[in-house]
Structure 1
Amino acid sequence: MSTAPLSATPARRRPKGAAAGRLAVVPLLLFVAVSFGVPALAMAYGAFTTYNPGKPSQYTMGNLTASLQGGYLDALIGSVKLSALSALIAVVAGLLLAQAVVTSRFALLRKAVLSASGVLANFGGVPLAFAFIATLGNAGVLTTKLHLDQHGWSLYSFNGLVLVYLYFLIPLMVLSVIPSLDGLRRQWREAAQNNGATAWQYWRHVALPVLAPSLLGGFVLLFGSAFAAYATAAAMVGATVPLVTLQIATALSGNVSADATNVALAMSLDMVVIATLVMVIYIPLQRRSARWLV
């Protein structure tokens, strides 16, 4: 008498849509490879080679060395300083504005601020530069009416660029931090109040530690946005304020020797390295913030 074999556990079958989902990603991967991969490889190749018309290119580290010396290094440091200062001010101002919106009882105010922030965060380039020149330039409306030029004000300076960058960085910070502020539970504030904590103690010991990853992530995001900005600074200050993006544009436009083209590619590679470091910091901070504010 034969006994029937025990039925084996059926193998897990992958959903039919899984394979189709992977195939749907292929066009996106191809687009990314062509749009970002090919230019990145060309940039890296040019950064490590020399330009000799009629002669084969030779590999060298001279371009990277030159990109970190003299005026090129000053431009890189200037961009880092401008981006860091603008991002720091925007984080503080954006947090205060976002907190005012979150705690407001008027739903219309929240919608208006979010809508305006979405528009202003993407408003930059030459139109933004022209708007500030017409308002706070040497012959701007406010400059002439308030006699700002007599007090040493100049829009075409480092401080002027910081002010202009805040125009789109603060709205970007508002959009970034409002979801985190919404994630602060009311029970935390009530528990702090029941234990005799003041509003300042609540923010110092509860809210700010919880929001710290989001605030640091917002700072990194704003830093990267300001670091990569070009058109606004080019239309406003030209070569007055040393910035790495302006140096790259000058080298690629042919206003200097042909050898500087490869140095420009090396400076672009320096920017990619800094942007990569920014993303390496930003992604873990966002994941840590999401765990607290779910």
Structure 2
Amino acid sequence: MTEISQKDLEYWLEHVRIYANNGDVADYIPALANQQPEINAVAYYPIDGEVLYAGQSEYTFTIQSISKVITLALALVQHGESAVFNRVDKEPTSDPFYSIGTLEVEEPAKPSNPMINAGALAVTNMIRGRDSEEMVHEILKLVRMLANDESITYDEEVAKSEFETAFLNRSLAYFMKQNGIVTGSVEELLDVYTKQCAITMTVKQLARIGAVFANDGRDPETNNPLVPSHVARICKTFMVTCGMYNASGTFAINVGIPAKSGVSGAIVGVLRNKGGIAVFGPALDEKGNSVVGIHFLEKMAQEKHWSMF
């Protein structure tokens, strides 16, 4: 693998920013509808070296579905594989991330994987805490440790906006509650879930989280373990098979690295033993992935031959 340079990041970003015109911001979440499609940024956080970035790298965004990787890691640490996979399966799906269809035909009504909304809700439901405040605190504690930044929190306006319009996610949660996959208060679960999705950070902070997973769960600077290596491996596997929604197979062929996207326009990628990469561009394609982010990572993969396959 050849190294990445500052010039690489700037060159690739300059050549893909035009694709923002080919997508639309996620207007079904009112607080995200105001995002400017032309904003874009990228950061590369090597395991051993200086962080590189280009574009509007100080711009903060909500991580949305990228939080699913973090809550999965936390649930696995707190409860173990057997308990987690008793609630959610390990298989990719061709259905959209918001689909309720598989819950209706599977027996028991177990979500296909932790990267779709139903699966993520089932996983978030497992996070320890006496109430939603404690559960959010547990999630933020892990996020801050992975990003090495105690200032990271969630955007209250986005969380409120998502909570108030989460009709479909409420339906998924109630459907699973009927079948014993979800327990306790659905409103409390939605409170935690919308706040985890509304966690805000920059591409530099997100790339560092990618670097932890690239380093098999160890801190990229100190090499201290932050997440057990087997947990990091499980999370990365789900990123490959399910991380880009129902475009994960195409992404695996065209790019070939573990990655997770969010409907804010962020994507985090993992380059094993090399580092983490994060791209942001709020214009989305029909699958819910950043148009600029996808094109950027495809260009990187073509030029650097960094596919894990």
Tell whether the structures are fold-level matches, with TM greater than 0.5.
Answer: no
Greater share of helix: 1
TM-score for both structures, normalised by structure 2: 0.28
Tell which structure's C-alpha radius of gyration is larger: 1
